[in-house]
Amino acid sequence: MKHLTEAALLFATTGMVFAAEPATPPPASGGLFQVLLGLIVVLGLMAGAAWLLKRFGAPRMASGTVIKVIGGIAVGNRERIMVIEVADQWIVVGITSNQINTLSTMPKQELPPLPEGGTPGSQFSDWLQQFMDKRNGK
C-alpha cells in the first residue's frame, strides 16, 4: 500500500509540473507563409501540367471508339442537327436542350472533297441541305 501511495503522489506531482509549463504556440506568420508558399507551388504545378497537356496534346482515350461525329449545324439557339457515324451507318440526330431524337438513318457515305477556300462546316451544311431536299422530293 505504501508503494501505491508513493506512485500516486509521484504521478500527481509530475502531472502538475507538465500542466504548469506554458505551451508556446508556433509562430503564426511562419506557418501561414509556408502554407501560402505550398499552395502557390501546387497551383503552379497544376497550371504547368495543364499547359503541357494542351501544348503537346493529351492522349485520346476514345481513339478506338465506334462512334464518330461527322458534322453538325445549328438550327436555333439551343438546337442542332448532327450526323453521327456508328460502324457503317450514319444517324442524323436532332439535339435540343432537353432531348436527342433520331431523325434519319442511312448507309455510310463519302463526303465530297472540300472546295477551294471552303470550310468543313459550310461543306457539311451544303451537303445536309442537298440531302434533305432530295429526301423531301424537292
Please give the grid coordinates belonging to residue 64: 478506338
Each residue's pLDDT tens digit, 62-74: 556 778 888 888 8
Q: Is the pLDDT at 89 greater than 70, yes or no?
A: yes
- The Cβ-side half-sphere exposure at 101, using a 13 Å CA radius, reads 7
Each residue's pLDDT tens digit, 20-47: 556 666 566 678 888 999 999 999 999 9
- The Cβ-side half-sphere exposure at 95, using a 13 Å CA radius, reads 14
Domain range summary for the chain, segments of one domain joined by +: 67-135
Q: Is the pLDDT at 56 greater than 90, yes or no?
A: no
Mean pLDDT taken over the chain: 76
Q: Is the pTM of this model over 0.85?
A: no
